[in-house]
Amino acid sequence: MFDAEDGPLAGLRCLELCWVWSGPMVCQILADLGAEVIKVETPKRFDLYRTRGLETQRGLMDERTRIESSIYFHSLNRNKIGLSLDLKQEEGLSIAKSLIGDSDLVIENFTVGTMERLGLSRDVLAEANSRIVQLSMSGPGRGSAVEELRSYGLVLSALGGAEILIEEEGQFLGSPTFSLSDPNAAVFGAMAAIAGALSARENGRGMAIDLSQIEAAATLGTAPVPSSSTRDAMVETADGAIVATSVPNDSPAEALDFAEMTRDQLVRNCEIVGGQTAVFRELDQSEDATEFADCSAWLPSHHSYTGDEMLVAAPWRESGARAAVRKPAPLLGEGDRYVLGDLLSFSEAEIVRLTESGIVGVPDLAQPAPPKRKKANV
Q: Are residues 122 and 203 in the same domain?
A: yes
pLDDT in tens, 200-214: 999 999 999 999 999
Task: Measure the CA–CA gap between 320 and 318, rounded to whole angstroms.
Answer: 5
Q: Are residues 97 and 187 in the same domain?
A: yes
Closest by CA position to 249, among listed 229, 276, 234, 269: 229
pLDDT in tens, 326-350: 999 999 999 999 999 999 999 999 9
Q: Helix, strand, or coil here: 356?
A: helix
In the chain, what are the helix, strand and coil shares in percent, each to the nearest 5? 35, 20, 45
Q: How far is CA 332 from CA 55, 89, 103, 344, 378, in A?
A: 17, 18, 21, 19, 44
pLDDT number for residue 304: 95
pLDDT number for residue 366: 46
Pair 132, 125: CB distance under 8 Å: yes
Task: Measure the CA–CA gap between 32 and 28, rounded to whole angstroms.
Answer: 6
Q: Are residues 190 and 73 in the same domain?
A: yes
pLDDT number for residue 223: 65
Q: Are residues 218 and 87 in the same domain?
A: yes
What is the domain extent for residue 262?
A: 230-292
Count the Cβ atoms, other than its own, within 10 Å of residue 260: 9
Q: Are residues 124 and 272 in the same domain?
A: no
Q: Are residues 143 and 201 in the same domain?
A: yes
Pair 83, 38: CB distance under 8 Å: yes
Domain count within the chain: 2
Pair 228, 248: CB distance under 8 Å: no
Q: Are residues 250 and 200 in the same domain?
A: no
Task: Measure the CA–CA gap between 95 and 361, rounded to whole angstroms.
Answer: 14
Q: Are residues 136 and 196 in the same domain?
A: yes
Pair 102, 343: CB distance under 8 Å: yes
Per-residue pLDDT of the chain (378 residues; tens, 9 = 90+): 545 567 899 999 999 999 999 999 999 999 999 999 999 998 888 999 999 999 999 999 999 999 999 999 999 999 999 999 999 999 999 999 999 999 999 999 999 999 999 999 999 999 999 999 999 999 889 988 888 888 777 788 888 887 777 777 778 777 776 788 899 999 999 999 999 999 999 999 999 999 999 999 888 876 666 667 888 888 888 888 899 988 888 887 666 677 788 989 889 888 888 899 988 888 777 777 777 776 778 899 999 999 999 999 998 888 888 888 999 999 999 999 999 999 999 999 999 999 999 999 987 664 444 455 454 443
Q: Is residue 374 part of a domain?
A: no
- Of 250, 272, 292, the domain-final residue: 292
pLDDT number for residue 62: 93
pLDDT number for residue 4: 54
Beta-carbon-side half-sphere exposure of residue 332 (alpha carbons within 13 Å): 27
Q: Are residues 141 and 270 in the same domain?
A: no
Whole-model pTM: value is 0.84
